[in-house]
Amino acid sequence: MVWSSTIFVQLLHVAFVELLISCFAQQFSRRPNDFQSITTYIIQNVIDVTHATTKRWAFEALALLCGILPGDEAIIGIGANAIILNVSSTTYMVYMGMSVAGNVRLGNALGAGDAHRARVASNLTLSLGAITALINIGFLLSTRTTLPWCFTTDVDIAKEAEHLFVIAACYQLPDAINGAVQGIFRGSGRQALAAQWNFVAYYCIGIPLAYVFGIAFGGGVEGLWWGITVGLSVIATGCTGIVLRSDWEAFSSEAKARMNGGEG
């Protein structure tokens, strides 16, 4: 529901801006800098929509893979997957809030031309991601034998969910770091790079490995989640390296140039 609302709002933004362009085309033609800014805004929103849906569709694909597991394993897998997906979506809300906060603080710093503050905001966002992940790991491991029973009374599904909680605990750190770096990328105007990494991590690595571990090797729903975890770990590691090597002075200059309407 949260993902759907986010995507819907972003699409409304795109539609609203396009309506403004059609209504005030003549006025925009006299002010090319304004038109260029609006066009950039539309492109960034389209990228954000793609970025947001990439992760969500990957987990929908995971649910579909649960359906092709053999025999009763499919029924148990679908039930256990639904439980862990709900729990993971809840823990991700913490990372999403942190991501948005990092996005805002970093964007403000770059817009103000303060490269040092941008670097501090970036490092702080990554650090908070790691800290919140450790808290969620402790929560998942300590509640793995009790929390599944809040979702089902089926013994087999609850037992399978207990095993998935351990995998979900391993999944928290890369998930949190990914949330942090996505906020950093948005704040520094690198939405396209974030979307590309997400696509590679989930569709070129995560889902294929999920199929191999879960279906081909017979690992079941646990194998599916290990595949996604490996994919997410790749993006978390790669994007963290990119963030740590970022030239904040250059990004600050670029942001200042955009604020001045393209002037240096």
> For position 188, what pLDDT does the model report?
87
Q: pLDDT tens per residue, the chain (264 residues)?
A: 544 555 555 555 555 555 555 554 544 454 555 555 556 656 666 666 666 677 778 888 888 999 899 888 999 999 999 999 999 989 999 998 999 899 999 988 888 888 899 999 999 999 999 999 999 999 999 999 999 999 999 999 999 999 999 999 999 999 999 999 989 998 888 888 888 888 888 899 999 999 999 999 999 999 999 999 999 999 899 999 999 999 889 888 887 776 665 544
Structure tokens at 91: 């823990």
Structure tokens at 129: 């991601």
> For position 264, what pLDDT does the model report?
45
Main-chain dihedrals φ then ψ at residue 188, nearest 5 degrees: -105, 15
Q: Would you list the domain boundaries of the chain?
A: 54-259
> For position 166, what pLDDT does the model report?
95
> For position 2, what pLDDT does the model report?
46
Residue in this structure with the two tokens 């996505």, named with its chain if needed: 182
CA angle 156/58/206 to nearest 5° reads 85
Concatenate the DSSP letters of all residues of the chain into one string: -HHHHHHHHHHHHHHHHHHHHHHSHHHHHH-HHHHHHHHHHHHHHHHHHHHHHHHHHHHHHHHHHHHTSSTHHHHHHHHHHHHHHHHHHHHHHHHHHHHHHHHHHHHHHHHTT-HHHHHHHHHHHHHHHHHHHHHHHHHHHHHTTTGGGGT---HHHHHHHHHHHHHHHHHHHHHHHHHHHHHHHHHTT-HHHHHHHHHIIIIIIIHHHHHIIIIIS--HHHHHHHHHHHHHHHHHHHHHHHHHT--HHHHHHHHHHHHTTS--
